[in-house]
Structure formats: C-alpha cells, structure tokens
Structure 1
C-alpha cells in the first residue's frame, strides 16, 4: 500500500472518530446582527469559552458555552443579509449545529391583520422571505430567487416551543407568529405600503432573518427567527422609537431564547 493511501486511511479514521464524538454534543447556533442583541444571552450562559476564528484573516469572535443545559454557540454577524448569510454558512460548515436561532429586534407592521402590535411584543417566524428581491419579469414571485421557494418555513416544533416561551417569559407582551421579511433597508412609513402590497400577511421587517432561513434551508437545519418589536414602521419618526426601545426589545428576545432551549 503506497504512502498516499496510508495517509488517506489515517485521515479518514481520525476524522470519523472525531465526528462521532462531536455529533454527540451538537450545538444550537444563536446568531444576532448586533452586540446589543446578544449581550443578555451571553450573560446567561455558563462554561463560556471565547474562540477567535482566524481563517482568511477574519479574527471573528464566537462564544461557546451552556444555556438552559444546551450547548450553544453565539455569534454577532453584523447588519444585513450578506453578513447573516456568510456567518450562518460558515458556522454550519465548521460546527455540528442541530438548530439555528436568529434573535434580535425588528420593526412591527400594523395592518388589517395585525392592528394591535406594539413595541415590546415578540414575533416568532412561521416563515421568512426577502422583500427586496424582484425577479417577477422572469415569472417568479416577489422575494423569490431562481430555484428556491418564495418563503422559507421555520421549523414547526421550534415555532410551537417559542410561542409557549413568549407566553411564560414575557407576560407583559403579546406574542405573534407570522411572516417576517428581510431586506437591506431600515423601513419607514414611506416604504412600508409597497411591502404590504406585495406581502399582505407581513408582521415584522428586519435585515437578516430571511438570509439565515435561506442558508438553513440549504443546509437542511431547523431554524427559527425570534424578534421583539423595537419600533412600528408605519409611524413617522420610527427611527427615534427604535433607538429608545432597542435594549428592552433585545432583553425580551433573550428571555424567549433561554426558555426555548429549556423546553426544546
């Protein structure tokens, strides 16, 4: 047997043994766009280990640890769809991930279907989609990329657990399950009517969730997006409301994430 085959067999033996051991300790990935959205989650974790990902000169920090007796990895991906997609893909390809949770804040959308949504309420994604993708000239639906569904469905078990978690941990807020839309814009009243025209059942808008759902769909990993409402996008001056209520909304999301992991 030549040296190449010997090295190959040794590599496969080591890889298979390490993979089996690692698969017994799968992790839940918790991904947020901003530090403020993950601070409370990181505080609640135990057995914490900070890891610096140095490949390609990245120097990207992640945190591994325990939350509600579950192995978790938290990462701040940065704002926007590309950042969310890149880091979800990276972690899913590098670590053994059982579930993906995208947590944070979003703008609430008041509509005929959701008339009473307010700041502090928590929205659980039944589906996610892009509001700023348009290939309708080629026969696709708004938000749909070629070869992919228009909407990416969240895992039903996670949706059920998240809905229960909101009711038990954020009693002062209402909980909703519905369509969350993503795009690379901070949405204000001037833009929201166009979005509602394309997606009448939208309940919240943000900038990362659909990319996380898109990548999770491609990797066949269960996902959910949990967003606490920081502002109402139909209201003038919603950017001021966002700044005022960001911490409260992030805190509510963190409590829900902790409870989901406890009952998962």
Structure 2
C-alpha cells in the first residue's frame, strides 16, 4: 500500500482515506494546517497491481492501514470519504493515538447492514460494485455522484484507473456480512466526531445521519454542505479545509500547549 506524507512543523497528523474506485486526487485542493498522511488503497492506482490474486478485501485494507498509521506514533485525526469513511470506522478504535474522527458520505451502518435505513436506492451507483461495466455505465454513475458535472471527469478517470476486482471485493464484503457494527463503534467512540454530508449526495440518507448524531456519545456534530454531492473534498475543498482544520485545532490543542 503506497502513501503520501506531507510534513509540517507540528507532530500531529491528519490521515485522509479515499473511497472505492477513487484516489488521493479527491483531496488535492485541500489546504490543511497539519502534517497529512494520504494512503492509496491497493488497487486504486493504474498499473499498481497485476491481474493476479492480490487481496482487496476490507480485512486486508484494515490490517495495512493500522500498521501504517500506528507506525508513526503521533496524535491522529482520521478522515474518510465513502468507503474510506467506512474503513475509518472499522479501524478507529484500534488507532493508538486517535484524537478525532470525521467521516463524509459514509453512514455508520449496523450489523447486519441496514441498507434501507442508511442508504438511498440509486440503480446507477451499483456500477461501483460491479467488476465489469461499460463506459456508458461508468459515466452515468459518476455523473450521479456530483452536484456540478465538471467533476465527473475526475470520478471517471479514478474509476478507470482502479482495478475492477476492487469493486467485486467490496461487494463481496458487503453482501457476506464482513463489515462490523460501525454504528455501535461510532456512537461509542470517545473522541470528537464530525459527520459531513453533501446536500445532493444521492446515496446517503441524511435523516439517518442526524439520528446517529443524536444517539452518539461524546462530542458529535453533523454538517450538511449545500450544492455538494458524494465527494465534498473534491467539490467544496475550501469548505472542507475549514471543517477539517477546525476539528484539528480542537482535538490537537492539548498537544500544542
């Protein structure tokens, strides 16, 4: 698993996790005030993996990410988009120096997965769980995910640059019940937490997200961004930079005194 580390003057690290068939490019316009670690999930970079038996399972991602993040031994603010948000909830309780969590476009699901409660049914988005798709299906799926169509090209390029087996592996984990009770983990996590959702995200039930916040322990908030779809850091990088930097100031403050 490759990663990019952008160092700053302080010892705190913001970790950014991208989603299924996406890439670190969705974070490219963020302006963050701390050191930043951006892992690239295996299978999400063109020609990164040969067409063999490479493991793209959730358990593999969790193992590699935990090893990478904990190896720094630094205070961590964990942030994840879509599948990256779900993975963040899967590993948060095992991160030794976790100080805060922010998830976007990723409803904390229960076990067994409460699809109908947490997600909205959008047929085009099934493309993100299929190993083989036509160009027309890919463009259709990408165009649904964003509010402004100028971002569609980035989504399509990332999709085509990812290994198709990533999508079938994600589908297998989903439908075989390999995800944990993320809802329980999230609401019980004892650190500041933020849930961000785009007002035009086609896949996530916003009322469910608000309910999760009400049920959650500790300091938890919900932020809905207007004129935004499934990729807030790509579509509204200035607003997301402000949100992430504010949470970072709050959770890292004790370490700066």
The two structures have a TM-score, normalised by structure 2, of 0.34
The two structures have a TM-score, normalised by structure 1, of 0.33
Structure number with greater Rg is 1
Question: Which is strand-richer, 1 or 2?
Answer: 1
